[in-house]
Each structure stands twice: as structure tokens, then as C-alpha cells.
């Protein structure tokens, strides 16, 4: 939970915007925005000139440029950026005050700052003469330091080149050691006893290197290459589309980060980057793939890196820039190499998915816990609504969101996106059945709406009243200002992205086991549907349609593996199947032989009795 300090009273609050509005009476939206920026430090200073003396840099990313001033400490850089952000915000407040807005300003930070600055002018006038005298001396020192810095940069560049050479040799040795290890597994260790001790040491070093946890290397992206910036921007626009949603924008940003890491790796130390020949270097591409394999990332994340870069290379192959000198054959080879790496990832990824499902199974919620969650939610929600009607409290509102979403998610198993995208209009337009007194709620925006249409929930009159009460609370808090269209609202006009945290708060208050998420509740619901109704039953298919997924998706991602009780039933089926073919026939033959023997023995006994009887 983010805690910000109020710039007026210097106290810490989680909901700073509401504190400024209701406590200090800051009703001007622009003034409140400036004060929020001053508190959280989110000020756009990308195109502001560098504030370091004697530096004339005016790039587009001041935050990255200021890190290049190695002569400054980390504290000095942070202090410099803080002063610059404060100066920018106070200048905005001063401009806003000069425009004489209709809603007057409450804060006086810019007035106090200008008064302090005016009082300090007289004191600074005496020091200006000394500063002018020392100006020439400082310039000479700065020139000497720049020369020394340039020399250090040259040394660093030469060391980087040397490290790259060592890395290539290391990769070659590692590949040869991996081949030796593979041969040892194939032909056995006895045939390789006569191999050299040098190869054995290489194998040991390779095993030690692969067992260590390696972080992803952070490389400098070549921002000065215009053609790279242009083609990446074209690819980003193509992926985002004409009307991107916020989730799509987040996914595109993640994809662009992976592609920029690939470009930074391939272009490091290469000359004439505008020719783009580095994109066709197979050795560097193989080194990048090997680096991803050794990193401590999840296998699925590594696979995303490979797929995103493959998409970018296909885009580059279809629409290459005019300044590109890389051949089409080199790009085809690079795409082929990435495709082979992606295919080789299938089996390890399947094993990784099995391990993930094992972890889910260990923390699977029981059926009793889901029922207990709904029982306790029925008791807690009316009390929270009564408290919020008397006096609004953020904590009570968050608990209400957690209880309501927990009740519905434990019953229907819907994804988080269904609750995030639920709007006021969809609630008011819910289909009402007067006979039963229930309501059919339909949510349009969710993950699988293209395949399954709108997500549906059948609510009782009491459950439907909860949603209407939440909408009334939101309208009362808005008080005529702009409000969010979503049911589970935030302070701004967007859905509350902390519903999972609110669900966990309510779950903890109910003293239930584990830490729930909407995915874990969905997994439990899907598993119990399969176990109770059967894998191919019509009831399970109906529940899957309501949960907006098919049974194949449920078995792959949500439903857990067979329990020991279900496996025992399966073993019994195997035993019965084999008994019908061989064992049962043998038992029948033994029974027939026994019956024939008994008949023969009985016949002989009767014959003996007849012979022994006197006429």
C-alpha cells in the first residue's frame, strides 16, 4: 500500500487526494494534481535541460542522462532531481495562481518559495563577485575532469571489448564440454575414463556455471540510432492497434522491453549500427539465447522473450528500412534459429507447468472453505454496508469489495477481469425474473468474450442489492464531480486494480486457510466441478460455459490432477479389464474341473453302494 506525505501538513496518508480535498479544502483539480506530483515525485522531466553546471545536454531522457554524471554521488543525483521537480511544480502553481482560476488556490507553497528567494537575493549579491572570480578556475577544472572522464570511458570500452572476447571463448568451451557430457551419458563413463583431465575440468566448470543463479544482464540501448527508434516505434504501433486497452498497452510495453534487450545485446560493441547488420549475427543470437537459458527467469518468461523477438524479426524481414544492409538470408537464418529454440522449449515448459500445478494442488482451497467463505460473507456484508451509510471509511470500503468479490468468485469462479470491468450500466440493465426474484448480470469485457460472449452471473435479490448499494456509495462520494463507471471503483475514473488484495484482507478476517487469489478460487471451483459431476458430464460442460472456458482449458490450467482415491478407482478398472481376458477364464476352467470331479466321485460312491447292497 503506497503511503505519500502531504506537502501542506507533512503527514503521511494512503489516500492523499481525498485528504487534500476534504481536510485542506483543495477543490481546484489542477492544484491538487500539482500537490500530488510534488508528493509522489511523478513529474515529467524528460525534456528538461541538464541542471548540472557546465553541462549543456538537452536530450529526451534527463533521468537516464543524469546517471552518466559519474562525478556525482547517488545522494547528490537524487537531491538534484528533487530540487528540479520541486521547482517545476512550484512554477506550475505560480502560473496557475497568475491565471486567476475560478476555484481559488488554497496552498501557498509557491508564495513562500518566492518570498524566501527574494530575501536571499540581497545575501547572494555579495557572493556573486566571488563566484565570477572563481568561474574561470572552475571551468578549467571541469575541462580537466572531462578529459579524465573521456580517458576512463575509453578504458572501459577497451575492457568491454576484452570481456566480449573472453565471453566468446567461454561459450565455445562450454559447448564443447556439453558435448563431452552428452557423450558420457550415451556411451557410459567407462569408455571415457581415458579422456584428458582438461576436458574433465571443463565439464566440472560447466556444471558449476549452470547451477548458479544468473540475473538478466542490463545493457544500454543505443538511443542515438534513429533508424532503430523508428522501426521499433512502427512495430509498437502495429502491436497496439488503433484503439488499445490498458491491458493491451501493458502487454505491448512488456514486449517492447524484451525486444529492446535483444537489440541492446546484439548491438553492443558493433560499429555502424545504422546499417543494422548486427541483427543477422548468428553467434550473438546464440549467445543471447544461451544467456536467457542460464538466467533465473521462469521458463514461460524466457519463451516470451524468444517469441517476441521472432515476431519482430518477421516484421523486420517484411518491411526492412531503406538504410538496412543486412541480407534477407541472414534474417531467415536468425528466424530459423529462434524457431528451433522455441521448439526445444516445449518439453521443459510442459514439465514446468506440471510443477506449477503441483504447487497449486498443495494450496488448493477445500470445498468446506468455499462454503464457509460465502456463509461468513453473508453475515459481514450487511454490517459493512450499515457502517458505510453512517460514515465512509476506506478500510470498510475495501473490506466490502473483498467480501462481495470473494462471495461471487467462490461460487462462480470468474476471473479477476470480470469484476474489474463490471460497470454501473450492466448492473442496472440486469435481466430480472419476477417469479424467482433473481437477476441475470452480464459483463461484456473479459478475457474470453470472443469465444464465450458475455460473462454471466445469476444473483439473488440480496446479492443484487449489494451491487446497487456500492453504486449508491460511489455516487454519494462523487458529489457531482467526475466518477468512475465501474462498480468496484477507485479514486480516479478507472477500475480498482487492488481487488485481489481486498479479497485477501477479507479472507484473512474470516480466518480461513491460505492466501487466495481469483485464480486459486477458479482452480478450486473447476476441480470440484470435475470431481463431483464427472469429466464428460453435461453438468460440467454447463458450468464451464458459465465460467467462460471449455473443459480442455480447465483440465490444462485449472483442474488439478487425480487424487489418490481417484487413482485407486482407476487401478481397479485396470485389474477388472485384465481379469476379464485371462484370469476370469482360468477361474472358470478350474470351477468346471472341480464340478466334474465332484460328479464323478458321487457316481462312484453310488455304484459302490449298489454293489454292497444284498439282493
Reply yes or no on whether the pLDDT at 400 is more than 90.
Answer: yes
Q: Do 442 and 422 contact (CB within 8 A), yes or no? A: no
DSSP-derived 3-state class of residue 458: strand
Q: Do 77 and 66 contact (CB within 8 A), yes or no? A: yes
pLDDT for res 584: 53
Q: Do 414 and 455 contact (CB within 8 A), yes or no? A: yes
Phi, psi of 610 (to 5 degrees): -65, -40
Domain positions in the chain are: 1-118, 170-177+202-357, 385-558, 564-610
Q: Which three cell numbers stand for residue 290?
A: 544461451
Reply yes or no on whether the pLDDT at 194 is more than 50.
Answer: no
Integer distance in angstroms from the first to the last C-alpha of the chain? 113
Q: Which residue has the cell 502560473?
A: 95
Phi, psi of 50 (to 5 degrees): -65, 130
Most confidently modeled of 76-80, 245-249, 453-457? Answer: 453-457
CB 362: neighbour CB atoms within 10 A? 9
Mean local confidence (pLDDT), 281-295 = 88
pLDDT for res 130: 59
Which of 484, 417, 422, 495 shows the shortest CA–CA distance to 459?
Answer: 422
DSSP-derived 3-state class of residue 486: strand
How far is the C-alpha of 324 from the C-alpha of 274, rounded, in Å? Answer: 7
Report pLDDT digits (tens) over 358-390: 776 667 788 899 999 999 999 999 999 999 998
- Listed in order, strand segments (DSSP E) in 378-454 are 431-433, 438-443
How far is the C-alpha of 378 from the C-alpha of 424, rounded, in Å? Answer: 22
Could you say which architecture CATH assigns to the domain 385-558? Orthogonal Bundle (1.10)
CB 403: neighbour CB atoms within 10 A? 28
pTM above 0.75, yes or no: no
Mean local confidence (pLDDT), 311-333 = 91
List the alpha helices (DSSP H) in 212-281: 226-240, 246-267
Amino acid at each position: 500500500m503506497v503511503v505519500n506525505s502531504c506537502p501542506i501538513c507533512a503527514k503521511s496518508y494512503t489516500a492523499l487526494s481525498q485528504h487534500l480535498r476534504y481536510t485542506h479544502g483543495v477543490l481546484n483539480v489542477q492544484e491538487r494534481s500539482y500537490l500530488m506530483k510534488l508528493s509522489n515525485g511523478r513529474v515529467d522531466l524528460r525534456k528538461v535541460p541538464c541542471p548540472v553546471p557546465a553541462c549543456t545536454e538537452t536530450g529526451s531522457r534527463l533521468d537516464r542522462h543524469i546517471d552518466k554524471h559519474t562525478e556525482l554521488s547517488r545522494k547528490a543525483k537524487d537531491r538534484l532531481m528533487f530540487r528540479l521537480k520541486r521547482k517545476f511544480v512550484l512554477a506550475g502553481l505560480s502560473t496557475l495562481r497568475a491565471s486567476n482560476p475560478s476555484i481559488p488556490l488554497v496552498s501557498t507553497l509557491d508564495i513562500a518559495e518566492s518570498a524566501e528567494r527574494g530575501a536571499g537575493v540581497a545575501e547572494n549579491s555579495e557572493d556573486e563577485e566571488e563566484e565570477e572570480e572563481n568561474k574561470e578556475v572552475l571551468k578549467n577544472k571541469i575541462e580537466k575532469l572531462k578529459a579524465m572522464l573521456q580517458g576512463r570511458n575509453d578504458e572501459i570500452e577497451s575492457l568491454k571489448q576484452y570481456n566480449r572476447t573472453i565471453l566468446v571463448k567461454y561459450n565455445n568451451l562450454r559447448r564443447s564440454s556439453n558435448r563431452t557430457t552428452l557423450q558420457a551419458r550415451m556411451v557410459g563413463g567407462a569408455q571415457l575414463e581415458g579422456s584428458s583431465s582438461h576436458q574433465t575440468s571443463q565439464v566440472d566448470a560447466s556444471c558449476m556455471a549452470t547451477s548458479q543463479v544468473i540475473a538478466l544482464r542490463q545493457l544500454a540501448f543505443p538511443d542515438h540510432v534513429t533508424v532503430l527508434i523508428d522501426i521499433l516505434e512502427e512495430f509498437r504501433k502495429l502491436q497496439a492497434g488503433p484503439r488499445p486497452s490498458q491491458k493491451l498497452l501493458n502487454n505491448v510495453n512488456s514486449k517492447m522491453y524484451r525486444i529492446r534487450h535483444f537489440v541492446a545485446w546484439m548491438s553492443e560493441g558493433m560499429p555502424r549500427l545504422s546499417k543494422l547488420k548486427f541483427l543477422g549475427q548468428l553467434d550473438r543470437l546464440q549467445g543471447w539465447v544461451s544467456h536467457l537459458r542460464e538466467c533465473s527467469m521462469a521458463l514461460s518468461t524466457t519463451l516470451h522473450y524468444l517469441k517476441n523477438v521472432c515476431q519482430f524479426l518477421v516484421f523486420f524481414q517484411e518491411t526492412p528500412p531503406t538504410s538496412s544492409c543486412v541480407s534477407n538470408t541472414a534474417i531467415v537464418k536468425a528466424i530459423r534459429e529462434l524457431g528451433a529454440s522455441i521448439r526445444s522449449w516445449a518439453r521443459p515448459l510442459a514439465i514446468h507447468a506440471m510443477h506449477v500445478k503441483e504447487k497449486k494442488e498443495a494450496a488448493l482451497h477445500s470445498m468446506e472453505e468455499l462454503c464457509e467463505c460465502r456463509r461468513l460473507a453473508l453475515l459481514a456484508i450487511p454490517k459493512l454496508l450499515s457502517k458505510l451509510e453512517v460514515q465512509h471509511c476506506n478500510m470498510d470500503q475495501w473490506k466490502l469489495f473483498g467480501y462481495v468479490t470473494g462471495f461471487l468468485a467462490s461460487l462462480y469462479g470468474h476471473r479477476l477481469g470480470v469484476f474489474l470491468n463490471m460497470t454501473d450500466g450492466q448492473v442496472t440493465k440486469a435481466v430480472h425474473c419476477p417469479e424467482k426474484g433473481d437477476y441475470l448480470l452480464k459483463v461484456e469485457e473479459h478475457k474470453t468474450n470472443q469465444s464465450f460472449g458475455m460473462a454471466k452471473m445469476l444473483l439473488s435479490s440480496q446479492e443484487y442489492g449489494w451491487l446497487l448499494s456500492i453504486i449508491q456509495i460511489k455516487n454519494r462520494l462523487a458529489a457531482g464531480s467526475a466518477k468512475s463507471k465501474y462498480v468496484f471503483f477507485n479514486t480516479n475514473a478507472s477500475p480498482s486494480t487492488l481487488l485481489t488484495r481486498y479479497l485477501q484482507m477479507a479472507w484473512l478476517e474470516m480466518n480461513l486457510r491460505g492466501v487466495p487469489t481469483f485464480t486459486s478460487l477458479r482452480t478450486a471451483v473447476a476441480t470440484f466441478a470435475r470431481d463431483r459431476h464427472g469429466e464428460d458430464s453435461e453438468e460440467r460442460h454447463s458450468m464451464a460455459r458459465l465460467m467462460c472456458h471449455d473443459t480442455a482449458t480447465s483440465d490444462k490450467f485449472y483442474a488439478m490432477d487425480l487424487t489418490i482415491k481417484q487413482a485407486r478407482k482407476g487401478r481397479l478398472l485396470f485389474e477388472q479389464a485384465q481379469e476379464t481376458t485371462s484370469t476370469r477364464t482360468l477361474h472358470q476352467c478350474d470351477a468346471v474341473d472341480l464340478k466334474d470331479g465332484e460328479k464323478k466321485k458321487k457316481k462312484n460312491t453310488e455304484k459302490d453302494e449298489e454293489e454292497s447292497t444284498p439282493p
